[in-house]
Amino acid sequence: MTSHYVDLTVVPDPETGVPPLLGALYDRLHRTFVQHRIDTIGVSFPLYTVIPRHLGDTLRLHGSEGSLRELLAGDWLRGVRDHIRTSQIALVPAEVQHRTLQRRQFKSNVERLRRRRMKRKGETAEQAARAIPDSVARTPTLPYVHVRSASTGQTFCLFIALGPVQREPTAGSFNTYGLGGTATVPWF
């Protein structure tokens, strides 16, 4: 249950801005969720905006008081602690709205899609180009964070979409990025 929350706010310095520091923080959180099989803590970004496309400087963690205390007691913030300000764990305010945060994937690199098709189907470049026209490419407009997958080791843009606002919470589990398919987090 997401009855409590804690804010982790990134503090940039002259050499490193907010986006790379937020990415480093989120990487560590993701690896911790994978290593400890944590699916009871969700994330949100209270300063999330689409125009301009921005996640803000704060990563908010939602869960029970005990699960948040246990997470923060771990050593996963080593290496970024100097750039993070951690709030106190607090009770979620009464009468807040709820929503899901979900990963969105886009087919944005047509050349990569064509190479993959050529390899999988044994087609020539011309055949793959006819099957996958340039019009297939989509330009994402959602905010994102650069992360490294714990399973593949590859770095990618994790695009984050907000679900509709709901008056009541929906229980469920979160994935290793702290995002829920149907599980909601308090939105405030």
pLDDT exceeds 80 at position 106: no
Report residue 88 CA to chain centroid gap.
22
Q: What is the mean pLDDT of residues 140-151?
A: 89
The neighbour count for residue 49, using CB atoms within 10 Å, is: 11
C-beta separation of 163 from 174 below 8 A = no
Please indicate, yes or no, if residue 92 is contained in any of the structural domains. yes
Residue pLDDT, tens place only, 14-57: 999 999 999 999 999 999 999 999 999 999 999 999 999 999 99
DSSP labels, 159-173? EEEE---BSS-----
Task: Identify the CA nearest to 62 among candidates 83, 81, 39, 78.
Answer: 39
* Number of domains observed in the structure of the chain: 1
Task: Note down the domain range covering 13.
Answer: 4-105+159-187
Please indicate, yes or no, if residue 151 is contained in any of the structural domains. no
| pLDDT band at residue 5 under the 50/70/90 scheme | very high
**Residue from 4, 30, 83, 98 carrying the catalytic annotation:** 30
Please indicate, yes or no, if residue 135 is contained in any of the structural domains. no
Report residue 124 CA to chain centroid gap.
37
Residue 176 half-sphere exposure toward CB, CA atoms < 13 A? 15
Can 62 be counted among the known catalytic residues? no
Please indicate, yes or no, if residue 181 is contained in any of the structural domains. yes
Please indicate, yes or no, if residue 132 is contained in any of the structural domains. no
CATH number of the CATH domain containing 72: 3.30.70.2540
The C-alpha atoms of residue 107 and residue 137 are separated, in whole angstroms, by 6
Please indicate, yes or no, if residue 154 is contained in any of the structural domains. no
Residue pLDDT, tens place only, 67-89: 999 999 999 999 889 999 999 99
Please indicate, yes or no, if residue 116 is contained in any of the structural domains. no
The C-alpha atoms of residue 103 and residue 181 are separated, in whole angstroms, by 9
Task: Identify the CA nearest to 11 among candidates 78, 56, 65, 46.
Answer: 56
Please indicate, yes or no, if residue 76 is contained in any of the structural domains. yes
What are the CA-CA distances from residue 47 to residues 88, 122, 164, 188 (Å)?
Answer: 18, 46, 17, 10
The neighbour count for residue 64, using CB atoms within 10 Å, is: 15
Which pLDDT value is given to residue 108? 63
C-beta separation of 98 from 167 below 8 A = yes
Q: Which residue's entry shows tokens 């996963």?
A: 76
